[in-house]
Amino acid sequence: MEGNELQHNEYEFVAEIKQLLDIIIHSIYTHPEIFIRELISNASDALNKMRLLRLTEPKILDPESELQINIFVDSTTSNFIIEDTGIGMTKDEVVQQIGTIAHSGTMEFLQRLKEGGSADNLNLIGKFGVGFYSTFMVTDEVTLETRTYMPESTGVRWKSQGKDKYTIEEIEKPKRGTKIFFKLKEQYKEYATPEKVKATIKKYSNFIDFPIYVNKEKVNTVQAIWYKKKEELTKDEVEEFYKFISSDSKPPLSYFQVSIEGNVNFKALLFIPESLPNYFVPELFEKTLLLYSNKVFIQDNNQEILPDYLKFVKGVVDTEDLPLNISRETIQNSPLILKIKKILTTKILNHLEELAISDNAKYNQFFKSFGSIFKSGITIEQSHRDKIIELLRYKSSKSDPEKLISLSEYVQKMKPEQKEIYYVLAETFDSLDKNPNIEYFRKNNIEVLVLTDPIDALVVPFIIEYKGKPLKSIDMADIRIEKSEFQESERIDAELANQLFDKIKNVLGDKILNVQESNRLVSSPVTLVTSKYGHDARAEKIYKIIDKNFQSSAKILEVNTGHPIIKNLVKMMQNNPENHLIDSIILQLYDEALLLEGELENPKEFIERLNAILIKVSE
């Protein structure tokens, strides 16, 4: 997508850029200083590319020139100049990269900004690749001069007032790199003072890995803080570093260092964020790990070092064992990376374990933010299965929904006669009250884990048992429930019950697999459960979302033979087995059970039958 050429050397911005510029110039005034951060970040990217190219490219313009960023400001003229010795741009690249918006999320971002441009959105400007344009907040005209690293390249000058046009021309430029200059608007002239610029760099760009000079004075402390010893690291610098690499505005929940020497050598400084990043910035999810080789930046979103279920961890991994000129493909298949992955996985799990012991509140916060991703580890990770299972947390039917418990805590509280660990898959914690299968457990004060995360349906079958105790869904038929005495005294006798069950089978036909007496019901007349060969009903709902052709398992209807409706049904059968009302009531009870599961497909039929029954009883 190129800009449209108007007259000689004069082009028009593509529509999105015009729109963006309009927003930037007219509505974003809260943090004008971020233009400095954005320009430095672009310069740093260009320098990083140069640093890597230098290792492989034999012919480079000014091979010896130091990789650095120079800023010159003049408070008397309000001029601002930023210059780098980075990779530079060709004419085509200037047109393409400065004249269009590369990132697909940008239009959405623009929309959001328009709806209400908050300061938080503003922080995202850089992430959307609109960084360069933030300069138009503080100036009326920007000039960019650039020349690539290739010795035969020519210089290019791009100039724009940020309205709808820009000009581009070839120029003499002896040096490699990019120079951007402009005059600050009257109200922003303070950014032409070295003090203000230095303070801004300290705030946003302190960890940039290249020296930054302001009016020839070096400003940033280029420092690989992951090389520091634990005792030397201050909380402030660690938090500052975290914010810098993660774009998170909040401090991390926790962090830790790893330093391994021997077979494999690497250092890492890793962070657990407090919460998931802003959902509409997918880039933030991708930015996981920065990979360095001996303090030289290699990659900013390495996807290979961490297993998927630990990808919420952010930080830096620096290994001197990795050759600097390594390609992305080689990183992917490198045995070194695999070794680092193995070690880091163990270290992260150990860290989580320590956090769970030392700071329960923080651990729970971690689990609320990242539990869904983390849990999935059980399905893929054999070697750390047991550890991950120990680290799982669930809501409990016995405490308020904010509290989370571990399987270990659950087992410790079990009565000796309880042989199984019970759980229920529930849409929400409160929806548990609608589930008749919980009645027995409430009545007998047996704890049930309440699994409200949709991923639980997929993950929990992988646990199978914990400390020799099988995990059982209370919605399935194969749980070991003893009959309680109070129920026993109120039940109808077995022969009558069997006659009724035959009748029910007759009426419901192949809607159900079987009918049996229930031990789990207290106040409900019937419930549907799944045979041990089938799946939990809620799990099936999730499977159906994933696989449209998924076949539901046939259900078993459990009947509470102490319930008044059931007792009345038996009496009706004794009086007149042909009474049609019996069939209607059986169908109605079955539909009620479906309704509670959210599975009733034909509410019209249900209501019509209910009305027919009401007519009968009100006659």
Residues that bind ligand ADP (CB under 6 A): 38, 42-43, 46, 84, 86-89, 97-98, 129-132, 178
Side by side, the strands of the sheet bearing 421-425 are: 395-396, 449-451, 421-425, 469-473, 465-466
Query: SS3 for 11?
Result: strand
Helix, strand, coil % in the chain, rounded to nearest 5: 45, 20, 35
User: Which is closer to ligand ADP, CB of 109 or CB of 226?
Assistant: 109
Nearest distance in Å: CB 179, ligand ADP = 9
User: Which is closer to ligand ADP, CB of 129 or CB of 155?
Assistant: 129
User: Which is closer to ligand ADP, CB of 95 or CB of 522?
Assistant: 95
Residue 358: CB partners within 8 Å, gap ≥ 6? none
* 282-289, Cβ contacts within 8 angstroms, sequence gap of 24 or more: 282/105, 283/103, 283/105, 283/127, 284/127, 284/246, 284/247, 284/248, 285/311, 287/245, 287/246, 287/247, 287/314, 288/313, 288/314, 289/313, 289/314, 289/315, 289/316, 289/317
User: Which is closer to ligand ADP, CB of 41 or CB of 519?
Assistant: 41
Q: How far is 170 from 565, CA to CA, in rounded Å?
A: 91
Instruction: Give me the residue label for tokens 């309880």.
Output: 418
The answer to whether the CB of 110 falls within 8 A of the CB of 16 is yes
What residues are paired with 434 via a beta bridge? none
Nearest distance in Å: CB 84, ligand ADP = 5
Query: SS3 for 4?
Result: strand
User: Which is closer to ligand ADP, CB of 96 or CB of 531?
Assistant: 96
Q: Which of these, 132, 159, 154, 134, lies nearest to 144 by C-alpha position?
A: 159
Nearest distance in Å: CB 131, ligand ADP = 3
* E strand or H helix at 416: none
User: Which is closer to ligand ADP, CB of 92 or CB of 409?
Assistant: 92
User: Which is closer to ligand ADP, CB of 130 or CB of 529?
Assistant: 130
Looking at 57-87, list the stretches that DSSP marks H as alpha helix, in order from N- to C-terminal side: none
Nearest distance in Å: CB 10, ligand ADP = 20
User: Which is closer to ligand ADP, CB of 92 or CB of 354?
Assistant: 92
Instruction: Give me the residue label for tokens 């012919």.
Output: 59
Nearest distance in Å: CB 96, ligand ADP = 9
Nearest distance in Å: CB 170, ligand ADP = 17
What residues are paired with 268 via a beta bridge? 258, 317
User: Which is closer to ligand ADP, CB of 178 or CB of 487?
Assistant: 178
Nearest distance in Å: CB 224, ligand ADP = 23
Buried b (16+ CB within 10 A) or exposed e, 494-523: eebbeebbebbbebbeeebbebebbbbbbe
Nearest distance in Å: CB 43, ligand ADP = 5
Nearest distance in Å: CB 102, ligand ADP = 6
